[in-house]
Structure formats: C-alpha cells, structure tokens
Amino acid sequence: MDDEGYLFFKDRTGDTFRWKGENVSTGEVEGVVSRCAGHKDVVVYGVEVPGAEGRAGMAAIIDDAGTLDLEQLYSSMTRSLPSYARPLFLRTVKQLEMTGTFKLKKVTIQKEGFDPTIVKDPLYFLDAKLKTYVPLTIDLYQTITAGKVRV
C-alpha cells in the first residue's frame, strides 16, 4: 500500500532478473534446467558480473550423487532456452535450505555469487566455444571479473 492508500502488486524479489536486455523468469528457467538435468531440484537467480549490465543467470543444482553430465546439460539447454536465459554459471550442491513451505531458499547462495574463494561447492562457467560447462577456477574467475572474457 502506498502513502495514499492504494494497493498494487509488485514483482517478488528474485523471481526475475535482467540480462542482455531481456527479462528472465527464474521459475521458467528452473523448470527447464531441472528437466535438462534429469529432474534434479534447481534454483536459478541472477548474479552481478563486474563490467556487465544486468545480472547473469546462475543455477544451483542439487547433485548429491555427483552424476550431473555437464556436456549433456549444455546440449539440452541450448535446445530449450534462448542464449540470454541460459545460466552462465552453475553451482552443484549436496542440499539447499528449504522454507517452512518446502520451497528452496536462494537468498544466501545468491549473495555468495560465483566467487570460488567464497563458494566451497563446485562452480562451473558456460564455455560456448567448448560447448559445455567448465570448472570455474580462481584464474578463470579473475579473468571474467577483469572483463577479459566476453559474457
């Protein structure tokens, strides 16, 4: 409600992000990534990349068995999502916190971003030339944040 007593609806924080001039629905991308990853639980959120406008997509995928096939995931997502909606970064986790209504929490992992000195889970970067996700090393992270890799 505003100061004059009017009620209005506002987008829920975290349900969308803007990348490459496009609005991206995290819920829609979560559904596609989950299907492409063999119906694993997924949360999608936007992360800031220094020097880039908007927020790049990042997905945290619950992969407690360590069976995620990154090449197959990349291939499926390129057929199912436009380039601006494909997560640029991946994080594989054993589990994620849940809310009281059994929704996966994303606020904490979104704040951690894609910095491998902060995130202790495996991180990956979408390498379009290699047509797969590659491990996000500290060197690669520094190259990305210095603007030396086109995102």
Question: How far apart, in whole angstroms, are the C-alpha atoms of residue 74 and residue 130?
Answer: 10
Q: pLDDT-derived band of residue 84, with 50, 70 and 90 as boundaries? A: very high
List Cα–Cα distances, 21 to 24, 84, 114, in angstroms: 10, 9, 21
Contact 80, 47 (CB under 8 A): no
Q: pLDDT-derived band of residue 9, with 50, 70 and 90 as boundaries? A: very low
Range 106-130 burial, b when 16+ CB lie within 10 A, else e? beebbebbbebeebeeebbbbeeee
Q: pLDDT-derived band of residue 62, with 50, 70 and 90 as boundaries? A: very high
Q: pLDDT-derived band of residue 103, with 50, 70 and 90 as boundaries? A: confident
What's the pLDDT at 101?
Answer: 86
What's the pLDDT at 102?
Answer: 78
Average pLDDT of the chain, as a whole number: 92
Say how many CA atoms lie within 13 Å of 92 toward its Cβ.
18
CA dihedral 2, 3, 5, 7 (to 10 degrees): 0
Predicted model pTM: 0.88
- Structural domains in the chain, CATH included, are 16-145 (3.30.300.30)
Q: Which tens digit of pLDDT belongs to each residue from 130-141? A: 999 999 999 999
Q: pLDDT-derived band of residue 100, with 50, 70 and 90 as boundaries? A: confident
pLDDT of 10 above 60: no
pLDDT of 108 above 50: yes
